[in-house]
Amino acid sequence: MTRHGEVWTFAEIEDGQIAGVSLELLGKGRELAQALGVPLAAVLIGHRIRSLADRLFAHGADIVYGADHECLAEYTTLPYARVLVNLVRERKPDIVLYGATPLGRDLAPRVASALKTGLTADCTDLQIGSYESGGRVYENKLLQIRPAWGGNIIATIVSPDHLPEMATVREGVMRVPDPVEGRNGTYIEVPVNPQPQDFKVRILESRTHPRRVDLRSAAIIVAGGYGMGSKENFRLVHELAGVLGAAVGASRAAVDAGFIHADHQIGQTGTTVRPKLYIACGISGAVQHRAGMEESAKILAINIDPEAPIFSVAHYGIVGDVREVIPRLIKALRGKL
């Protein structure tokens, strides 16, 4: 089968800017488009968006489809889904990728259902490859790789007979391609015809709170788990992070126990990170947590239990009580740094 359809990425707007995950998608999208020999496009929906297109071009988009209308100024599901569904039907892309953000996970399944096509959630990798079934070989299919069963297994999913192949992609696992300032592309304006029946949900209030912590761009992360024992002891994690100029992370168990706010959560349901150094304090290392941090360049695990699974992904280990080890570590660091 020869491929003609483009590779598309949905460009999400966050605080008036292109969301980080949408830039990450352009890096992976470029690889896929190259492997297939087709153009890479981004779909940009909103109001007064033209200036944002340049950033998409700089990061690798050949084409930007822009749907610009005041009724699209804020995201609600149905009007955005209508724009995408109509555009897919008209232009027939082969692949459409979305960030696995709350917005992407709200929009993509609605679009997939209307198009009666396959959708794979929360992929951590995408490749082009072949798929064999019933004596038939499908070439150049999108291999959609994702963890399942709480991260205990990794599944490779294909959508052999349906186009477009669609996937949402987890935030933070793919790299943002370096921008080429001044790189140009084709901007195609998409006509918008608002349908009254699409405006059944109205946003009455919207409040954005600033990120308490920026885990994804931190070079060093000190993360604490349930093994810290109490909110008071969790102060040691903050203290160690302070000495290192590091960001503070946490396991879900620590968040659930009320030691720290959920914005700090790392793992399958939190943020995925890969800092230069990850220090896991009192974190046993459930598979869901490991999924969010095991790509870190160096991992130091401090845990009282030598059998804790966190040690299976660590490079350095200290078996001991965090309440004693962390103060010693702080002391040693203060003397050296």
Could you tell me the smallest distance in angstroms from the CB atom of residue 300 to another protein?
7
**Two tokens, residue 277:** 């150094």
- Binding segment for another protein (CB under 8 A), chosen from 3-11, 54-62, 103-111, 184-192, is 103-111
Could you tell me the smallest distance in angstroms from the CB atom of residue 127 to another protein?
11
CA distance linking residue 69 with residue 205, whole number of Å: 20
Could you tell me the smallest distance in angstroms from the CB atom of residue 204 to another protein?
5
Crossing angle of helices 77-91 and 102-115, rounded to 10°: 50
Specify the residue, 64 or 119, whose C-beta has the smaller distance to another protein.
119
219-278 residues near another protein, rule: CB under 8 A: 220, 244, 268, 276-277
Specify the residue, 63 or 303, whose C-beta has the smaller distance to another protein.
303
158 binds another protein (CB under 8 A): yes
- Please check whether residue 67 is in contact with residue 88, taking contact to mean a CB–CB distance below 8 angstroms: no
**Two tokens, residue 195:** 């349908």
Q: Which residue in 90, 181, 205, 232 binds another protein (CB under 8 A)? A: 205
CA distance linking residue 328 with residue 334, whole number of Å: 10
CA distance linking residue 222 with residue 209, whole number of Å: 23
Q: Which residue in 48, 162, 175, 238 binds another protein (CB under 8 A)? A: 162
Could you tell me the smallest distance in angstroms from the CB atom of residue 209 to another protein?
6
Nearest alpha-carbon partner for 251 in 218, 286, 277, 216: 286
- Binding segment for another protein (CB under 8 A), chosen from 29-37, 41-49, 110-118, 222-230, is 110-118
- The site string for another protein over 111-150 (x = CB under 8 A, - otherwise) reads -xxx-xxxxxxx--------x-x---------xx--xxxx
- Binding segment for another protein (CB under 8 A), chosen from 24-32, 41-49, 181-189, 316-324, is 316-324
173-202 residues near another protein, rule: CB under 8 A: 200-202
- Please check whether residue 323 is in contact with residue 236, taking contact to mean a CB–CB distance below 8 angstroms: yes
- Quick one: which H or E segment has residue 335? helix 322-336
Q: Which residue in 153, 184, 214, 305 binds another protein (CB under 8 A)? A: 153
Q: Is residue 251 exposed (0-12), middle (13-18) or buried (19+ Cβ within 10 Å)?
A: buried
Could you tell me the smallest distance in angstroms from the CB atom of residue 125 to another protein?
12
288-307 residues near another protein, rule: CB under 8 A: 288, 294, 297-298, 300
- Please check whether residue 120 is in contact with residue 141, taking contact to mean a CB–CB distance below 8 angstroms: no
Task: Give residue for tokens 């968006």.
Answer: 49
Q: Taking the chain, what is the end-to-end CA distance rounded to the nearest angstrom?
A: 60
Specify the residue, 19 or 43, whose C-beta has the smaller distance to another protein.
19
Neighbours of 18 (CB within 10 A): 21
Using CA atoms in the order 234, 269, 253, 325, what is the torsion angle rounded to 10 degrees? -40
Could you tell me the smallest distance in angstroms from the CB atom of residue 38 to another protein?
21
3-62 residues near another protein, rule: CB under 8 A: none
Strand, coil or helix: 189: strand
- Binding segment for another protein (CB under 8 A), chosen from 31-39, 59-67, 90-98, 286-294, is 286-294
Nearest alpha-carbon partner for 88 in 45, 48, 123: 45
Could you tell me the smallest distance in angstroms from the CB atom of residue 156 to another protein?
4
Specify the residue, 257 or 313, whose C-beta has the smaller distance to another protein.
313
